[in-house]
C-alpha cells in the first residue's frame, strides 16, 4: 500500500489553474522525484500534501486512509514533514530556538531545556552534515545556511514522509553529498521522500522514480533508468532543449571595472584585485562562505569598501550605497531575491521597469505602453509563467520570481552586471535562455561578473574565472587553463 496517494487533485488561484488533476503516489522507502518547468505546479502539489493549501477537488490518502480535514497540524500528526523552497525561519531567533520551536510545537519536545535544545540542535545539524553553531542568530545566516536549518528541522521531526522542495538550490557540493547520505539513511529506514529539483544530475543520482508535471498535469511516472536525460527534458518542456551552454565568443574590449586591493572589514573581503572587461564574463567561483557574495555586495555599495580602490574605466570611484552603484551603471542580481530582488506586492511590470524608469518614461512620466512592452518582452523571453504582466510578483512560482528579479537588471543595460547564482531554481529551458541573454549582453559590451556554485556553469560561461578563498582571490584562471580540478584546488586554499 502506498504511503501517500494523491488522486485527481485540482487547485486554482484567482485566474490560474495551478493543478488540473494531478495524481501521484509515494511508496515506503522510495525517493520519488517530482520535476517540471517553473510554474508546473510542484510546490502547489506539496502544499496540498502538507495541508498548507486546500485543494478544490481530489483525494489525498495517507497509508490508505482518506485525509478528510487536512491542515498543517494533521500533516504533522500523520508524520509528514516538508522543507519548503523558501526558508521560513524566525530571523530574530537563534538556530537552536528555531529548531526547538518547530519540534516543540509539533509536540516532539515538551520540556524546554535550554542546554538540551542547543545539544539537540547541534546533533540534528550534524546529521544534516553541517557544523553551523546553534547559537547563531538566523538573521545573520546566508541562504544556504538557512536551508540547512530547515533540513535539520525536518530530520528532527522523524517523519515517515519527507518532502524536500529544491533543498539543494543554494547548497555547496559537499553539503549536497551530506544531504544525499541523510536521504539514503532515511530511505533505508522506510521513510518515503519526495524530492523536487531542477538539477537533473541529482535526480539521476538519487531518485528511484520520477514523476513529471507539466502545466498542472501529471505527464508520467517512470522508474529511474527507464528514460535518459534528453527524454526527461522533453517530457518536462515539451520541446528539445540543448543542455549545452550557448557561450559564443564575442569581442572583448577594454577594462570596465577594476578593483585594487579592495577590502571591507564588515564584509570580510580582503585585498581583492580583479578586472573585468567590456564583453567579458568573469566567473567568480569558490565555496559558500568564501566571500563571493560579500565581494558583490561591496561592489554594489551594500557593504562599502574601507580599503583599496574601485575604478570604472580607469577612474577611481567611491561606491558607498546601491544608489551610487546604480548611478555608475552597476547592476546586481542578488542570490537572496526576497531580500533585495523582487518586491512581492508589486506587479511584474513595475518590478521589471523599476531600475530602468528612464527608459520607460516620457517627460518624466512613466509611459505605460513602453513599460508594458518591456515587461512583455521579458515575460516572453524568460518564459515567465503568469496570467498577466500586472499580476503580483508574489503570486508567481519560486523560479518565476527569480526570472522577474533577473529581468529588472537585464533591462537596465548596465555597464557592469553582477549576477549571483543567476540560474538557481530556474528550469532547464529558461536556464539556456538566461545564458543566451548573458552572451547577448556581453556582445553589447556589458562587463559581467557571474557567481555560481555550479562548476559546469562556471566553466561553460566564463571567459576567465576568479576563485575565492577566505575573502581573497586565490587565483584567476583563463578559460583555457580552467578545469574542475584546478578550481576546486584553489577554492580549498591549496597553493600551486
Ligand X SMILES: Nc1ncnc2c1ncn2[C@@H]1O[C@H](COP(=O)(O)OP(=O)(O)OP(=O)(O)O)[C@@H](O)[C@H]1O
For Mg ion, the binding residues (CB under 5 A) are: 42-43, 85, 397-398
Handedness of CA 176, 37, 83, 457 (dihedral sign): positive
Which residue is nearest to ligand X, using beta carbons? 399
Q: Where do contacts with ligand X occur on this chain (CB under 6 A)?
A: 13, 16, 18, 36, 38-44, 85, 385, 395-400
Q: How far is the CB of 14 from ligand X (least distance, A)?
A: 6
Q: CA-to-CA distance for 290 and 473, rounded, in angstroms? A: 9
Handedness of CA 226, 229, 234, 240 (dihedral sign): negative
Hey, what's the cell of 400? 518565476
Q: How far is the CB of 446 from ligand X (least distance, A)?
A: 26
Phi-psi region of 174 (alpha: psi -120 to 50; beta: other; left: phi over 0): alpha
Nearest to ligand X of 41, 167 (CB atom): 41
Nearest to ligand X of 398, 422 (CB atom): 398
CA torsion 363-365-368-371 (nearest 10°) is: 80
Nearest to Mg ion of 40, 467 (CB atom): 40
Q: How far is the CB of 387 from ligand X (least distance, A)?
A: 8
Q: Quick one: what does residue 439 bind among ligand X, Mg ion, none, with the CB cut-off 5 to 8 Å set by partner type?
A: none
Q: How far is the CB of 399 from Mg ion (least distance, A)?
A: 7
Q: How far is the CB of 5 from ligand X (least distance, A)?
A: 19
Q: Quick one: what does residue 414 bind among ligand X, Mg ion, none, with the CB cut-off 5 to 8 Å set by partner type?
A: none
Which residue is nearest to Mg ion, using beta carbons? 43
Q: Quick one: what does residue 158 bind among ligand X, Mg ion, none, with the CB cut-off 5 to 8 Å set by partner type?
A: none
Sheet of 281-286, strand order: 330-333, 416-420, 447-451, 281-286, 464-469, 472-478
Residue written as grid cell 582571490 = 473
Instruction: Name the DSSP class of 137.
Output: B
Strand, coil or helix: 432: helix
Q: How far is the CB of 174 from ligand X (least distance, A)?
A: 25
Q: How far is the CB of 190 from ligand X (least distance, A)?
A: 27
Q: Quick one: what does residue 400 bind among ligand X, Mg ion, none, with the CB cut-off 5 to 8 Å set by partner type?
A: ligand X
CB contact set of 376 (below 8 Å; sequence gap of 6+):
389
Q: Quick one: what does residue 259 bind among Mg ion, ligand X, none, with the CB cut-off 5 to 8 Å set by partner type?
A: none
Q: Quick one: what does residue 38 bind among Mg ion, ligand X, none, with the CB cut-off 5 to 8 Å set by partner type?
A: ligand X
Nearest to ligand X of 142, 395 (CB atom): 395
Nearest to Mg ion of 258, 421 (CB atom): 421
Taking the alpha carbons at both ends of the chain, their separation in whole angstroms is: 57
Nearest to Mg ion of 41, 331 (CB atom): 41
Nearest to ligand X of 422, 475 (CB atom): 422
C-alpha gyration radius of the chain: 23
Torsion angles phi and psi, residue 373, rounded to 5: -60, -45
Question: Measured at the alpha carbon of residue 51, what is the angle toward residues 50 and 53, in degrees to the nearest 5?
Answer: 110
Q: Quick one: what does residue 396 bind among Mg ion, ligand X, none, with the CB cut-off 5 to 8 Å set by partner type?
A: ligand X
Strand, coil or helix: 252: coil
Amino acid at each position: 500500500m502506498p504511503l501517500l496517494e494523491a488522486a485527481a487533485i485540482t487547485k486554482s488561484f484567482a485566474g490560474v489553474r495551478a493543478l488540473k488533476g494531478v495524481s501521484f503516489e509515494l511508496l515506503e522507502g522510495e525517493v520519488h522525484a517530482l520535476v517540471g518547468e517553473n510554474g508546473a505546479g510542484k510546490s502547489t502539489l506539496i502544499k496540498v500534501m502538507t495541508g498548507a493549501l486546500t485543494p478544490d477537488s481530489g483525494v489525498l490518502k495517507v497509508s490508505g486512509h482518506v485525509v478528510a480535514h487536512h491542515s498543517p497540524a494533521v500533516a504533522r500528526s500523520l508524520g509528514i514533514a516538508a522543507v519548503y523552497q523558501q526558508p521560513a525561519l524566525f530571523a530574530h531567533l537563534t538556530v537552536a530556538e528555531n529548531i526547538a520551536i518547530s519540534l516543540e510545537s509539533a509536540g516532539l519536545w515538551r520540556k524546554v531545556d535550554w542546554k538540551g535544545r542547543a545539544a539537540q540542535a547541534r546533533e540534528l545539524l550534524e546529521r544534516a552534515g553541517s557544523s553551523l553553531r546553534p547559537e547563531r542568530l538566523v538573521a545573520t545566516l546566508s541562504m544556504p545556511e538557512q536551508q540547512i536549518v530547515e533540513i535539520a528541522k525536518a530530520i528532527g521531526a522523524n517523519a515517515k514522509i519527507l518532502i524536500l522542495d529544491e533543498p539543494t538550490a543554494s547548497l555547496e557540493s559537499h553539503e549536497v553529498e551530506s544531504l544525499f547520505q541523510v536521504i539514503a539513511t532515511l530511505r533505508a529506514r522506510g521513510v518515503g521522500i519526495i524530492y523536487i529539483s531542477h538539477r537533473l544530475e541529482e535526480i539521476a543520482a538519487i531518485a528511484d522514480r520520477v514523476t513529471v508535471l507539466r502545466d498542472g498535469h501529471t505527464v508520467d511516472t517512470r522508474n529511474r533508468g527507464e528514460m535518459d536525460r534528453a527524454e526527461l527534458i522533453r517530457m518536462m518542456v515539451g520541446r528539445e532543449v540543448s543542455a549545452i551552454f550557448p557561450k559564443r565568443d564575442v569581442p572583448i574590449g577594454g577594462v570596465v571595472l577594476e578593483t585594487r586591493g579592495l577590502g571591507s572589514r564588515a564584509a570580510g573581503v580582503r585585498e581583492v584585485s580583479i578586472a573585468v572587461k567590456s564583453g567579458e564574463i568573469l566567473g567568480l567561483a569558490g565555496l559558500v562562505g568564501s566571500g563571493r557574495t560579500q565581494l558583490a555586495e561591496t561592489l554594489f555599495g551594500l557593504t562599502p569598501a574601507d580599503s583599496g580602490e574601485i575604478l570604472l574605466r580607469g577612474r577611481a570611484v567611491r561606491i558607498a550605497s546601491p544608489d551610487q552603484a546604480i548611478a555608475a551603471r552597476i547592476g546586481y542580481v542578488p542570490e537572496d531575491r526576497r531580500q533585495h530582488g523582487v518586491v512581492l506586492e508589486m506587479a511584474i511590470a513595475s518590478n521589471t521597469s523599476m531600475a530602468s524608469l528612464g527608459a520607460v518614461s516620457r517627460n518624466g512620466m512613466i509611459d505605460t505602453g513602453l513599460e508594458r512592452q518591456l515587461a512583455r518582452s521579458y515575460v516572453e523571453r524568460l518564459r515567465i509563467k503568469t496570467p498577466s504582466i500586472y499580476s503580483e510578483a508574489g503570486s508567481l512560482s519560486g523560479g518565476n520570481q527569480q526570472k522577474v528579479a533577473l529581468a529588472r537588471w537585464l533591462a537596465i543595460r548596465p555597464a557592469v552586471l553582477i549576477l549571483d547564482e543567476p540560474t538557481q531554481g530556474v528550469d532547464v529551458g529558461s536556464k539556456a535562455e538566461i545564458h543566451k541573454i548573458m552572451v547577448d549582453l556581453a556582445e553589447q559590451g556589458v562587463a559581467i561578473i557571474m557567481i555560481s556554485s555550479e562548476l559546469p556553469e562556471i566553466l561553460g560561461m566564463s571567459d576567465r574565472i576568479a576563485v575565492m578563498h577566505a575573502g581573497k582571490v586565490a587565483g584567476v584562471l583563463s578559460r583555457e587553463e580552467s578545469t574542475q580540478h584546478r578550481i576546486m584546488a584553489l577554492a580549498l586554499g591549496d597553493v600551486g
